[in-house]
Amino acid sequence: MSNESHVVSYPRFLLRVLRMSLDGGWRFYVWMTALTAIALVGANAWAHQVANGMTVTGMTDQVSWGLYIANFTFGVGLAAGAVMMVIPAYLYDDHDMHDVVLVGELLAIAAITVCLLFITVDLGRPDRFWHIIPGLGRFNWPISMLTWDVIVLNGYLLLNLHVAGYMIYTRYLGKKPSPRWYVPFVFLSIFWAISIHSVTAFLYSGLGGRPFWNSALLAPRFIASAFITGPAFVILLLQLMQRFSSFRKAEGPVRTLSGVMRITVILNLFMLGSEVFTEFYTGGHHAVAAQYLFFGLHGHAALVPWIWTAVVLNVASALLLHIPAFKGARWALNAACVAAFGGVWIEKGMGLIIPGFVPSTLHEIVEYVPTLTEWKITAGIWAFGFMLLTVAVKVALPVLSGELRHSPRDLDESELEAEPTAAE
């Protein structure tokens, strides 16, 4: 191997990777241009929101969080769910999974970035972001759950950046990654993934004044639904990669992940059922928000179509995954993934956040409907997330398959022969 120092080769690696990420076929350019356009529309809507105040949103003093926090919550689940690639690979030594762990990590990086952006656009004073930086501002740790969330989310982002970056870089250099530089971090990331979604659940479940959220089941429900959306997204992503790139290892991981989903969709429905039972059988004040969510309250029913769509999608995904006639049918699996993704997006998004505020703590009923500005910003952030993910996957693939290397002349023949993709 060349003796070039990392100080020289790492920036060069980043530069090459960056240059490469901008190359592609017409499909790639169309895709990226469309995403850029959506992201710019979102950026413009946000600039207006900052300048004119959050009055441009549909939020009020009664419903003080809306679409942004709903998407934030869902995004955290997506990021945490990505660890479902890591668990089979490292805890159960599933070799097929080793190849796609990196995909999960890249998904986690994109999803966490999306989450951080949703928090940023929800701030009334984004110019004061530095007040929440430990050491610079006044960090209300350990009392405020939001400070825990700042730590675990950024920590998870760094962990995944490190592991994914290290893997790709060593492969680029044509070296075998050294286990001590990534295995401890991989195991840490498993616990960390659980923590990001638990802490996010505690953000809500710790509020005594909001009976709809004040449930010990919230964190387990978050985890179960995270382990639906993560695998669902990766199943679809792997198939797309197989179609549009030289990647050929989707089969095994798709099988494993659909096995995971088969369990988690049922678990999620079971926990939803437990909550619905407890709310409605007990009745009284505790059930008022659930009443509003599922059936409407005193003629106010803005969320009813949302939540029933979610229920239908979630039940449909469970059926598609379990009916024997559909076993092995790729369309059924893909439909189940899309349905589950959409179902959880509603259930863990609008279906979770808004009923926490309706009725208000003084039992006023003020409904919330997102404005166009909120939809623009939301679409913009997701578009940006997809751009990040596209570029990341696009860069990672040729490095892993050996198409892009530090310096092809230096390649050690023996290392080339020794299973180029199984080194993770």
Q: Does 53 bind another protein (CB under 8 A)?
A: yes
Determine, following the binding rule CB under 8 A, whether residue 123 of this chain makes contact with another protein. yes
SS3 300: strand
Is 142 one of the binding residues for another protein (CB under 8 A)? no
Among 261, 282, 322, smallest CA distance to 84 is for 261
**Minimum CB separation from another protein for residue 44, in Å?**
4
| Closer residue to another protein, CB minimum distance, 20 or 158 | 20
Specify the residue for token string 């950024």: 154
Q: How many residues bind another protein (CB under 8 A)?
A: 62
Shortest spacing between CB 315 and another protein, in angstroms:
30
For residue 149, give the amino acid letter.
Answer: D
**Tokens representing residue 159 in the block:** 């962990």
Give yes or no for residue 65 binding another protein (CB under 8 A).
yes
- Angle, in degrees to the nearest 10, between helices 330-347 and 251-282: 40
Token pair in block for residue 255: 């099988």
CB 390 within 8 A of CB 98: no
Q: Which stretch binds another protein (CB under 8 A): 110-118, 119-127, 275-283, 302-310?
A: 119-127
Instruction: Give CA–CA dist 74/66, Å, rounded.
Output: 13
What tokens does 91 get? 């805890």
Closer to another protein by Cβ: residue 48 or 162: 48
Binding characters for another protein, 275-314, by CB under 8 A (x = yes): ----------x--x--------------------------
Report the distance separating Cα 62 and Cα 144, nearest Å.
Answer: 22
| Region of residue 139 (left: phi > 0; alpha: psi -120 to 50; beta: else) | beta
| Residue 129 binds another protein (CB under 8 A) | yes
Its sign, for the CA torsion 282, 285, 286, 291, is positive
**According to CB under 8 A, which residues from 198 to 257 bind another protein?**
203, 206-210
Of 62 and 242, nearer to another protein (C-beta) is: 62
**Rounded distance between C-alpha atoms, residue 82 and residue 88, angstroms:** 12
- Residues 343-362 binding another protein (CB under 8 A) are 356-357, 359-362
β-bridge mates for residue 297, sequence order: 300
From 75, 76, 90, 122, residue interacting with another protein (rule: CB under 8 A): 122
Residue 408 binding another protein, by CB under 8 A:
no
Applying CB under 8 A, the span of 45-53, 227-235, 268-276, 389-397 interacting with another protein comes to 45-53
Residue 25 binds to another protein (criterion: CB under 8 A): no
CA-wise closest residue to 232 among 337, 389, 77, 317: 337
The reply to whether 136 sits near another protein by the rule CB under 8 A is: no
**Which residue, 215 or 258, is less far from another protein as judged by CB?**
215
CB-based contacts of 83, cutoff 8 Å, min separation 6: 104, 108, 189, 190, 193, 194, 230
CB of 70 to another protein, least distance (A): 13
Shortest spacing between CB 139 and another protein, in angstroms = 7
The residues, ordered by sequence, that sit 6+ positions from 25 with a Cβ below 8 Å of its Cβ are none
| Residues in touch with another protein (CB under 8 A) | 22-23, 33, 36, 40-41, 43-44, 47-48, 50-55, 57, 59-62, 64-65, 119, 122-129, 131-132, 137-140, 143-147, 150, 203, 206-210, 285, 288, 356-357, 359-364, 398, 403
